Amino acid sequence: MLTMPKLRQLEYLVALDDHATFRKAAQAVGVSQPTLTQQVQALEARLGAQLVQRKSSPVSLTPIGREIVSRARRILLGIDEIRKFASEDSVGVAGIVRLGISATLGPYLMPEIVAGLHRDFPAMRLHLVEGMLDDQLPLLRRGALDLIIATGTVRSQDLETVALFDEPLRLVAAPDHPLALKSGLSCADLAGAKVLGLGSGHVLQHMIAEQCIHHSMELLADYQGSSLDSLCQMVASGMGIAILPDLYLRSAVGGRNVVQHLQVGGWSACRPVSAVWRADAGHKSHAEIAQRIRQTAQVL
């Protein structure tokens, strides 16, 4: 008769799937490589099935191994949720919260929020992970992230989305750009303007592209900044205009001294900012973080 697998063995198998080598998987879970190897073998013996293709490099799972890993992730995620609910019931907002956020938002929004949360909830530790939304949503679903502060719209039945605020997007140009020298600008004056953007993986880039289409501007495919700072410097050098987030421009590093905000009549572009978490994993900490962000955005 088959015996039940141990949770630790399932954790080792998931780590092996994540890291594709026994050495890296062992490091990730804090055990020696022989220990992890032995426990994976013991799991295979318990289940009576080969789960790992050991001859491949990197290590891969067999078809049944992939199915079991998928179920193991859900089991481990459920156990983690039980621990968090129990902790919150006894001590309130507590534990480690892994929060994903875009690099075009996090540095300009989160410092004050993180400091306040750590001050008011010393039992909670907020770990920030910067990345692109398309990369972070799979991490959220499998439990590697607890919460995402997303720019743009996220709709999915397995995720809960809470709207936080709308951040204005501003048009900027070099001080000597023809648009900067013209008074009484309207959206019609933007037609044909050359616009600098970011890499295609950024949600902000999609918003920039939409505005370019809407206002008949030309998005320069050959000149893309790797960050908001580099984009701002490209604008300052006269390579084109840009559409930049308001919080960035108002930050200490926002480039207000090298670019000029264009006051354009009828311009109202903004990006929605939302908190997103798994629908089956709402916690007091998630709601508290969302509320803090909403309140902070109102006074920034």
Q: Which CATH number does the domain housing residue 74 bear? A: 1.10.10.10
Rounded average pLDDT over 213-239? 91
| Residue 106 pLDDT exceeds 90 | yes
Q: Answer yes or no: do 125 and 264 share one domain.
A: no
Q: Answer yes or no: do 117 and 183 share one domain.
A: no
Predicted TM-score (pTM) of the model is: 0.73
| Residue 94 pLDDT exceeds 70 | no
Q: How many domains does the chain have?
A: 3
Residue 295 within a domain: yes
Return the pLDDT at 216.
Answer: 97
- pLDDT tens-digit readout, 136-184: 999 999 888 999 999 988 999 999 999 999 999 999 999 999 999 998 9
- pLDDT tens-digit readout, 186-209: 999 999 999 999 987 889 999 999
Q: Answer yes or no: do 107 and 174 share one domain.
A: no
The torsion angle over the Cα atoms of residues 82, 83, 85 and 90, rounded to 10 degrees, is 140
| Residue 31 pLDDT exceeds 70 | yes
Instruction: Report how far residue 271's alpha carbon sits from residue 257's, in angstroms, rounded to the nearest whole number.
Output: 24
Confidence of residue 82 (pLDDT cuts 50, 70, 90): low
Q: What average pLDDT is seen over the chain?
A: 88
Confidence of residue 95 (pLDDT cuts 50, 70, 90): confident
Rounded average pLDDT over 17-40? 92
Q: Do 9 and 40 contact (CB within 8 A), yes or no?
A: yes
Residue 133 within a domain: yes
Q: Answer yes or no: do 157 and 287 share one domain.
A: yes
Residue 36: CB partners within 8 Å, gap ≥ 6?
Answer: 12, 15, 16, 22, 25, 26, 29
Residue 224 within a domain: yes
Residue 1 within a domain: no
CA angle 80, 83, 84 (to 5 degrees): 90
Rounded average pLDDT over 207-219? 96
| Residue 135 pLDDT exceeds 80 | yes
Q: Answer yes or no: do 111 and 69 share one domain.
A: no
- pLDDT tens-digit readout, 245-277: 999 998 877 767 789 999 999 999 999 999 999
Last residue of a domain, one of 63, 82, 101: 82
Q: Which CATH number does the domain housing residue 182 bear? A: 3.40.190.10
Rounded average pLDDT over 120-139? 90
Q: Answer yes or no: do 139 and 149 share one domain.
A: yes
Last residue of a domain, one of 82, 104, 137: 82
Last residue of a domain, one of 24, 55, 82: 82
Return the pLDDT at 87.
Answer: 59
Query: Of the spans 91-95, 115-119, 152-156, 260-264, which averages the highest pLDDT?
Result: 260-264
Q: Answer yes or no: do 30 and 160 share one domain.
A: no
Residue 43 within a domain: yes
Return the pLDDT at 297.
Answer: 82
Return the pLDDT at 84.
Answer: 66
Confidence of residue 76 (pLDDT cuts 50, 70, 90): confident
Q: Answer yes or no: do 104 and 33 share one domain.
A: no
Rounded average pLDDT over 289-297? 87
What is the separation, in whole angstroms, between the first and last Cα of the chain?
63
Residue span of the structural domain in which 11 resides: 7-82
Residue 87 within a domain: no
| Residue 1 pLDDT exceeds 70 | no
Q: Answer yes or no: do 19 and 67 share one domain.
A: yes
Q: Residue 252, Cβ neighbours under 10 Å: how many? A: 6
Q: Answer yes or no: do 245 and 193 share one domain.
A: yes
The token duo for 52 is 């790992």
Residue 2 within a domain: no
Q: Answer yes or no: do 111 and 229 share one domain.
A: no
Residue 60 within a domain: yes
Q: Answer yes or no: do 191 and 245 share one domain.
A: yes
Bigger pLDDT: 58 vs 193 = 193
Return the pLDDT at 245.
Answer: 95
